[in-house]
């Protein structure tokens, strides 16, 4: 560990004030719970001169359900989300994802916005300063070579947030505020497949809230599961969210999203082809192959990349089958 540098701490009282602070301090970092950022600062990975404390911004702490859906402020804690009865009833995958984040202390401090904007991780990056210096740093931080793929020119650090895949299968949008005003985009558009710069935020922009659409006439069943090295605290080696609706003996709609394998969370492409098909062994094998084809695990964790590929595919198939069966019983 290294000591912390002298810091300039700002406490904006509104989203607009936070934007002004970001523009005035381009190297500044937003601080919510700090469960990831402060650890990286102690390790010398992040060295901002200015921290912009968002905990005094009331707007981003709201969790509201109305006729237009559910709005979850970026400052809502993961513990609050995990304990919310309405979220558990309407969006089981999101509730499960929130309950699976790290440990109780992390969930009490960590925020929805922080989990969505979580820095990407790699065993060559998330190390002490002396360890990284001894290995000439890496492409993500002060180095020139990606130790995972030395002949490449892209960082392969993996995104490991739990909330994003659950929100992706539920059709969430994210509200962003910046110097040019506010905009709303599909959550998937927030992410880029680049471990060094995986967020599509413009200078001065702030994630304000996540918005879930109102319940459709036939709401999907949903789940989130993940594999990690220990049963608590650890980031996912692979995490899978599934949302499914059923029409008689056939799938009506299937959405699968993944985390922990790529530099961004993403919706599995081509699942529309499974609509109006019975869920048999052949279809489950197709899901398995589709996941293995689209995930891109690299040597960013202590577990082999191929293990993460295979387990992601197995989880997707298993959870899909379990949800399909649960709808028949319901």
Quick one: pLDDT band at residue 328, thresholds 50, 70, 90? confident
**Strand pairing of 63-66 and 181-186?**
unpaired
pLDDT for the residue 1: 53
Quick one: pLDDT band at residue 137, thresholds 50, 70, 90? very high
Measure the CA–CA gap between 305 and 311, rounded to whole angstroms. Answer: 10
The DSSP call for residue 190 is G
Measure the CA–CA gap between 233 and 275, rounded to whole angstroms. Answer: 36
Indicate whether 238 pLDDT > 80. yes
pLDDT for 305-323, tens place per residue? 999 999 999 999 999 999 9
pLDDT for the residue 68: 83
Query: How crowded is residue 265: how many other Cβ atoms within 10 Å of its Cβ?
Result: 30
Q: What residues are paired with 246 via a beta bridge?
A: 251
What does pLDDT average to over the chain? 95
- Strand, coil or helix: what is 14? coil
Measure the CA–CA gap between 93 and 97, rounded to whole angstroms. Answer: 6
Which residues lie below 8 Å from residue 30, measured CB to CB, with a gap of 6+?
18, 22, 52, 54, 113, 206
149-152 contacts, C-beta under 8 A, 24 or more apart: 149/298
State percent of the chain over pLDDT 70.
Answer: 98
The DSSP call for residue 61 is G
pLDDT for the residue 330: 56
Measure the CA–CA gap between 115 and 226, rounded to whole angstroms. Answer: 15
Measure the CA–CA gap between 45 and 43, rounded to whole angstroms. Answer: 5
Angle at 88 between CA 82 and CA 94, to 5 degrees: 65
pLDDT for the residue 55: 97
Q: What residues are paired with 238 via a beta bridge?
A: 227
Quick one: pLDDT band at residue 232, thresholds 50, 70, 90? confident
Quick one: pLDDT band at residue 87, thresholds 50, 70, 90? very high
Indicate whether 80 pLDDT > 80. yes
Q: Which residue has the tokens 């995990």?
A: 82
pLDDT for 1-39, tens place per residue? 555 677 899 999 999 999 999 999 999 999 999 999 999
pLDDT for 39-73, tens place per residue? 999 999 999 999 999 999 999 999 999 888 999 99
To the nearest 10°, report the CA torsion of 182, 211, 269, 151: 60
Tokens at 257, concatenated: 């999203």
Measured between its terminal Cα atoms, the distance across the chain in Å is 52
Contact yes or no for 198/120 (Cβ under 8 A): yes
Instruction: For residue 52, give the nearest of 20, 28, 76 by alpha carbon.
Output: 28
pLDDT for the residue 218: 80
Indicate whether 217 pLDDT > 90. no
pLDDT for 239-296, tens place per residue? 999 999 999 999 999 999 999 999 999 999 999 999 999 999 999 999 999 999 999 9
Measure the CA–CA gap between 79 and 123, rounded to whole angstroms. Answer: 28
Phi, psi of 174 (to 5 degrees): -120, 135
- Strand, coil or helix: what is 68? coil
State percent of the chain over pLDDT 90.
Answer: 92
Indicate whether 112 pLDDT > 90. yes
Contact yes or no for 246/329 (Cβ under 8 A): no
């Amino acid at each position: 560990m290294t000591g912390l540098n002298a810091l300039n701490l700002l406490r904006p009282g509104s989203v607009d004030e936070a934007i002004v602070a970001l523009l005035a301090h381009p190297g500044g970092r937003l601080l919510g719970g700090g469960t990831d950022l402060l650890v990286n600062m102690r390790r010398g990975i992040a060295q901002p001169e200015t921290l912009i404390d968002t905990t005094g911004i009331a707007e981003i702490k709201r969790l509201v359900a109305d006729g237009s859906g559910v709005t979850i402020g970026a400052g809502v804690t993961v513990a609050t989300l995990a304990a919310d009865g309405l979220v558990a009833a309407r969006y089981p995958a999101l509730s499960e994802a929130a309950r699976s984040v790290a440990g109780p202390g992390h969930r009490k401090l960590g925020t929805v916005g922080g989990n969505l904007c979580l820095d990407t991780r790699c065993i060559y990056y998330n190390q002490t300063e002396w360890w990284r210096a001894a290995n000439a740093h890496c492409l993500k931080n002060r180095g020139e070579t990606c130790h995972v793929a030395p002949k490449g020119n892209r960082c392969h650090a993996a995104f490991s947030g739990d909330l994003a895949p659950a929100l992706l299968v539920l059709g969430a949008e994210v509200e962003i505020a910046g110097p040019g005003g506010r905009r709303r985009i599909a959550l998937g558009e927030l992410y880029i497949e680049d471990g060094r710069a995986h967020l599509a935020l413009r200078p001065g922009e702030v994630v304000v809230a996540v918005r879930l659409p109102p319940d459709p006439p036939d709401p999907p069943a949903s789940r989130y599961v993940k594999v990690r090295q220990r049963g608590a605290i650890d980031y996912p080696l692979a995490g899978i969210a599934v949302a499914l609706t059923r029409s008689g003996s056939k799938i009506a709609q299937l959405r699968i999203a993944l985390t922990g394998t790529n530099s961004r969370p993403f919706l599995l492409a081509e699942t529309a082809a499974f609509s109006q098909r019975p869920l048999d062994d052949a279809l489950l094998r197709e899901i398995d192959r589709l996941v293995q084809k689209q995930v891109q695990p690299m040597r960013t964790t202590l577990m082999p990349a191929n293990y993460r590929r295979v387990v992601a595919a197995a989880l997707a198939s298993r959870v899909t089958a379990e949800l399909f069966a649960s709808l028949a019983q319901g």
